[in-house]
Amino acid sequence: MSNEKDLRVLLAIESSCDETAAAVVREDGEVLSSIIASQYELHQDWGGVVPEIASRAHLRRIIPVIREALTAANTTTDQLGAVAVTTEPGLVGSLLVGLTAAKTIAMGLRIPLVTVNHIEAHIYACGMGSTADIYPSVGFVVSGGHTNLYDCRSATECRLIGGTTDDAAGEAFDKVARILGLPYPGGPSIQKAAESGDSNRFQMPRPLLHSGKLDFSFSGLKTAVLYAARGVPGPKQLPETPPEIVPDLAAAFQQAAIDVLVHKCLLAAKQLNYSRICVGGGVAANTEFRKSMETATKKRGLTLNVAPPELCTDNAAMAAVAWELLAAGRTASLDADVLPGLVRPGRKRQRKTASK
């Protein structure tokens, strides 16, 4: 059996959106350090992530965060066996900051560069800290930028089978929070407000619930909240949501969104004939969503793996999936590029690998 001191370590970098993160992960999956510099205070006044602000913040923070991760792991650069970095999907400016840092490290230390898919990493995080195999499974990533379902045959084989046609679930939470006068980020704010609310006071739509397809749509639900909160557009529409109805609207919206998310996830499992579901992403930290998923999967005899709360929001530790890519020989060349933007069903994405 290998001694822990003999195991290789890699540096992982994540900068796909508004979190500047770095982690040091051993090849047995042990996370030696995980450092995250959040930017929520920079975007709070805007009610959402501003790409230009995000990329500039990454530029300021990337080197200090990497240094802190190495120090916290008691690791020096000459001990690194590889450097992994998120290159897709995400904000182009943010992704480029992380990739540039990773390329510089890989070239300077003459170690392999591994490019990581942010979505695959979120799903992989569902099995971190556990010895159980989580594949094959339905992979469900629910966050501010993504609401996507995947057929996951392995850690490196994830096929997109369904996604949102407009807003992602987390994005809808942010926008509804703004309608209700709640602070950014919207997920935690709505969850807190909903605790004292009555989800049955306002009737909210469940978009595409019975379509039989694996697509999502949250723009109509968001509009329904707006009309219930302030009235239809016109001279009588209120400028702000009356505070006394905020808890009930928050609860009604949250329940409607959760009903759709759970239903579509179960539908995917039925269509693929899978007995395991893996859920990751920032919305997976929502307590009511986790409870609803647990109840629904238990009722149907399915196995549920939800990422630990600390690995739901963006982080670099989940890029431990890079060890799987290394084992498969999937290293990247130094002319690798980012693949920004959202993932949609039918959209093909190609990763450039190093020549052998």
Distance CA 98, CA 76 (A): 19
* Mean pLDDT in residue range 12-17: 96
pLDDT at 84 over 60: yes
Helix ranges restricted to H, the chain: 40-43, 51-72, 92-109, 118-124, 169-179, 186-194, 219-230, 246-272, 287-299, 322-327
Tens digit of each residue's pLDDT (9 = 90 or more) over 35-79? 999 887 888 878 788 999 999 999 999 999 999 999 999 999 999
pLDDT at 345 over 50: no
Sequence-distant (6+) residues with CB within 8 A of 211 are none
Chain mean pLDDT for the chain: 92
Q: Residue 90 pairs with which residues in a beta bridge?
A: 341
Distance CA 266, CA 53 (A): 38
* Closest by Cα among 250, 20, 279 to 147: 279
State whether residue 50 is helix, strand or coil. Answer: coil
Question: Quick count: other Cβ atoms within 10 Å of Cβ 296?
Answer: 17
pTM: 0.89
Please state the length of the chain: 356
Say what the pLDDT of residue 250 is. Answer: 98
Query: Does 233 sit behind a cis peptide bond, omega within 30 degrees of 0 on the bond before it?
Result: no
The DSSP code for 16 is S
pLDDT at 352 over 60: no
Q: Residue 63 pairs with which residues in a beta bridge?
A: none
* Mean pLDDT in residue range 4-28: 91
* Mean pLDDT in residue range 206-215: 95
Alpha-carbon distances, residue 197 vs 47, 152, 192 (angstroms): 23, 37, 9
What is the band of 347 on the pLDDT scale with cuts at 50, 70, 90?
very low
* Mean pLDDT in residue range 318-345: 88
Distance CA 250, CA 248 (A): 5
- One DSSP character per residue, 273-309 reads T-SEEEEESGGGG-HHHHHHHHHHHHHTT-EEEE--G
Burial of 155 from C-beta contacts in 10 A (0-12 / 13-18 / 19+): buried
Say what the pLDDT of residue 343 is. Answer: 54
Most confident residue range from 143-147, 164-168, 268-272 = 268-272
Domains present along the chain, CATH in parentheses = 4-124+314-327 (3.30.420.40), 132-307 (3.30.420.40)
Share of the chain above pLDDT 90, in %: 86
Say what the pLDDT of residue 353 is. Answer: 47
Tens digit of each residue's pLDDT (9 = 90 or more) over 189-210? 999 999 999 999 999 999 999 9
Question: Who wins on pLDDT, 48 or 308?
Answer: 308
Query: Does 185 sit behind a cis peptide bond, omega within 30 degrees of 0 on the bond before it?
Result: yes
Q: Are 140 and 258 in contact (CB under 8 A)?
A: no
From 114-118, 268-272, 351-355, the region with the lowest mean pLDDT: 351-355
What is the band of 130 on the pLDDT scale with cuts at 50, 70, 90?
confident
